[in-house]
Amino acid sequence: MIPWAIISAINGDINLGIAIIVLLIIMSVVRQLLEPKLVSKNIGVHPIFTLVAMYTGFQFIGIIGLLIGPIILIVFKNIFASLIEQGVFKTIFDKK
């Protein structure tokens, strides 16, 4: 969208160029705020954990980590949920 805005401004349509930049800013802000919420709603994890998983994945792997981080989070969530259902943590922390 930035090249479109620049070309529009060069061609004399300053209003269109500014409108495109404003639209780009609004889209970026909305995406940054809503994406973790939407992803977390679909995978059943709190939005902050999804955001942390996306950030951590990005820091370790890069762009692909944004996708792999939440997947790893889902795997860990399912592993720990199954361990809790089986009572593994109960037996570990039971005093005998």
Q: CA-based angle 45:50:51, to the nearest 5?
A: 150
pLDDT of 15 reads 94
**Pairwise CA distance, residues 50 & 43, whole Å:** 9
pLDDT of residue 36: 72
Tens of pLDDT along 29-80?
888 877 777 766 776 778 788 889 989 998 999 889 888 988 898 899 888 8
Averaged over 16-38, what is the pLDDT? 86
Please tell me the pTM assigned to this model: 0.51
Provide the terminal-to-terminal Cα distance of the chain, rounded to the nearest Å.
Answer: 66
